[in-house]
């Protein structure tokens, strides 16, 4: 059974759309489709540049046959960007030659308009645009944001004591003390409280107290 995967051939060659780009959001086919996106806070010039770049990428999608007899498998190569392959389909040694051939247009055939449109909207999603077209499905999933609690932080000898003090002071049910400074016999911590304020603590030899921050005149 053939396996089909699209290839975004990001060569430095610009070619026009087969049909003129649509001027109405949510209309048009393939790379000529005009995305319907949330434009709040987006400069028109920035949008125009992003849209042009994504259209070029969509136009470069190619269907490529590889494998025994050039008929068994259809694979994907994103030239100049990344290589996306079905697991176990093509050996790494063959990737370089396939990518080079695709970059000069010697192999591959253009994808159908639906695949081009999908590539276009996914490209815009990767650039941070929110799709508003109910008739279009964006398959790109942004990588999850790092959990602040999982990020590395500076700790010290009295981190545990500082967190217990913050919890007892109703700063947060799950306080996370960050070491800001230390010296002979003391450590300074900051703790983000549940109400948005920050608690500053000074700990000395296992005892912590609120740090009084002097204000300038």
Q: What is the pLDDT along the chain (217 residues), one digit of tens a residue?
A: 333 333 333 322 333 445 788 899 999 999 999 999 999 988 999 999 999 999 998 888 877 755 555 443 343 433 323 333 333 333 333 444 444 445 445 556 777 888 899 999 999 999 999 999 999 889 888 877 666 566 678 999 999 999 999 999 999 999 999 999 999 999 999 999 989 899 999 999 889 999 876 544 4
Phi, psi (deg, nearest 5) at residue 109: -130, 150
Whole-prediction pTM value? Answer: 0.48
Q: What's the angle, vertex CA 125, arms to CA 121 and CA 128, rounded to 5?
A: 145
The whole-angstrom separation of Cα 53 and Cα 39 is: 17
Residue 37 and residue 132 in contact, taking contact as beta carbons nearer than 8 Å: yes
pLDDT at 107: 59
Q: Which pLDDT value is given to residue 156?
A: 93
**Torsional class of 74: left (φ above 0), alpha (ψ -120 to 50), beta (otherwise):** beta
Rounded Cα gap, residues 148 and 47, in angstroms? 31
Of 113, 137, 111, the C-alpha closest to 125 is 137
Write the Ramachandran bin of 108: left for phi over 0, alpha for psi from -120 to 50, otherwise beta: left
């Amino acid at each position: 059974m053939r396996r089909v995967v699209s290839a975004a051939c990001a060569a430095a060659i610009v070619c026009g759309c087969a049909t003129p780009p649509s001027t109405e959001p949510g209309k048009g086919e393939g790379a000529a489709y005009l995305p319907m996106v949330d434009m709040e806070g987006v400069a028109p010039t920035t949008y125009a540049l992003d849209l042009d770049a994504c259209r070029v990428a969509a136009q470069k999608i190619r269907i490529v046959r590889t494998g025994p007899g050039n008929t068994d498998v259809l694979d994907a190569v994103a030239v100049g960007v990344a290589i996306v392959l079905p697991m176990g389909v093509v050996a790494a040694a063959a990737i370089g030659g396939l990518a080079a051939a695709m970059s000069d247009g010697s192999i591959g055939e253009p994808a159908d308009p639906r695949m081009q449109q999908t590539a276009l909207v996914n490209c815009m999603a990767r650039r941070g645009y929110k799709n508003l077209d109910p008739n279009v499905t964006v398959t790109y999933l942004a990588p999850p944001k790092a959990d602040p609690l999982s990020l590395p932080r500076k700790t010290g000898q009295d981190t545990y004591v500082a967190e217990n003090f913050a919890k007892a002071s109703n700063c947060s049910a799950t306080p996370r003390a960050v070491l800001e400074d230390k010296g002979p016999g003391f450590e300074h911590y900051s703790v983000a409280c549940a109400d948005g304020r920050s608690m500053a603590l000074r700990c000395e030899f296992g005892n912590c107290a609120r740090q009084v921050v002097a204000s300038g005149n």
